[in-house]
Amino acid sequence: MAKQHKAVALISGGLDSMLAVRVLQEQGIEVEGINFFTGFCVEGHTHAIRNQDKEKKKRNNALWVAEQLGIKLHIVDVIEEYKDVLLNPKHGYGANMNPCLDCKIFMVNKAVEWVKENHENGFDFIITGEVIGQRPMSQRKQTMPIVAKESGADDILLRPLCAKNLPETKPELEGWVDREKLYDFSGRNRKPQMALAKQFGFDDYASPAGGCCFLTDENYSKKLVDLWDGRGSREYQMDDIMLLKVGRHIRPKPEFKLIIARDAGESKFLEGYRKEFTTLLATSHNGPMALVDGTLTEQDHALVAGIVARYGQGRDAEAVEVKISPLGSDEEMISITPLTSEQVLEEWHV
């Protein structure tokens, strides 16, 4: 009996990787998925925080895609290793803080390592949902061979959606897959993918807009750079990058910034950090929970209380009571007139 060939697919949770897998499943290839968790992934838990996002699906798209395809999914935590990719990208950044080309090389390389570590499972090659010209940084004709070479995958990296535009790979040359039944998609037009999705009966899939992680987002990237500038060092922990997804970030002084919840869902989320940060909360009126990230002196208390009061229901009141709970010292109640200067607040917005 002919050997059943096996591939491992990089699963982001978007449509392209979903299609790439199904194309190979149609050829009788057994596929398992691998998803790398960098900490910057756009996932359902972010939608679970904000009230206004309550209608959005709270699902892990990679897991959901795997379920639709009927494949096993391996989720690999790469938070620590990914720091070097983000902080020192050899190929630079895209429009924002997204090091897409280095990221792709890193992930394919991790997949190569994973295949080696799991050699008893007999994976023969790696597939991705990449399409030439789809993304300005990582998915260009010139970058396709760079990813294959620098990741160490070389000719065992197959991109089923655009394979016909690329040199033949080992799975094609060996006849494990039929090149004729692969695709030649290219460019940013997503109509071919949508038509293929329809053909496969996929009518629910994650929107491809904006990329697969927060690093492609302009506002998020600005907040990340501000975090590094504020600390004087380009470092981060998991909590830091989670908190960048939540609240208004206002930096009135270089030494500290305020993270102010935008709704009750975010207030609840920020409350979970009250043992690690100085917090502020209006007590005389309904208002948002706020955290202070950085070093706050007593002289700054009136300033931060005035800002936080501005974002609650007491914004037009003459005085708002605000409770400040500094880390490691006693709580203080402050009665303050909410700050009203839009211009100042605008300038401080990160």
Residues at the site binding ligand SF4, with contacts judged by CB under 6 A: 98-100, 103-104, 138, 211-213, 215-216
78-83 long-range contacts (CB < 8 A, ≥24 apart) are 78/36, 78/37, 78/38, 78/106, 78/110, 79/37, 79/38, 79/39, 79/238, 81/106, 81/110, 82/36, 82/38, 82/39, 82/106, 83/236
Closest approach of ligand SF4 to the CB of residue 147, in Å: 10
- Comparing CB distances to ligand SF4, the nearer of 238 and 333 is 238
Residues 6+ apart with CB under 8 A from 93: 99
- Comparing CB distances to ligand SF4, the nearer of 104 and 251 is 104
Closest approach of ligand SF4 to the CB of residue 216, in Å: 5
Closest approach of ligand SF4 to the CB of residue 14, in Å: 9
Distance CA 264, CA 49 (A): 9
C-alpha to C-alpha distances, 6 to 83, 134, 171, 330, nearest whole angstrom: 31, 26, 10, 61
What's the burial of 139, exposed, middle or buried (CB within 10 Å: 0-12/13-18/19+)? buried
Phi-psi sector, 152: left (phi>0), alpha (psi -120 to 50), beta: left
- Comparing CB distances to ligand SF4, the nearer of 171 and 211 is 211
- Comparing CB distances to ligand SF4, the nearer of 104 and 159 is 104
Closest approach of ligand SF4 to the CB of residue 85, in Å: 8
- Comparing CB distances to ligand SF4, the nearer of 100 and 308 is 100
- Comparing CB distances to ligand SF4, the nearer of 138 and 279 is 138
Closest approach of ligand SF4 to the CB of residue 104, in Å: 5
Closest approach of ligand SF4 to the CB of residue 99, in Å: 6
Amino acid identity of residue 310, one-letter, is: R
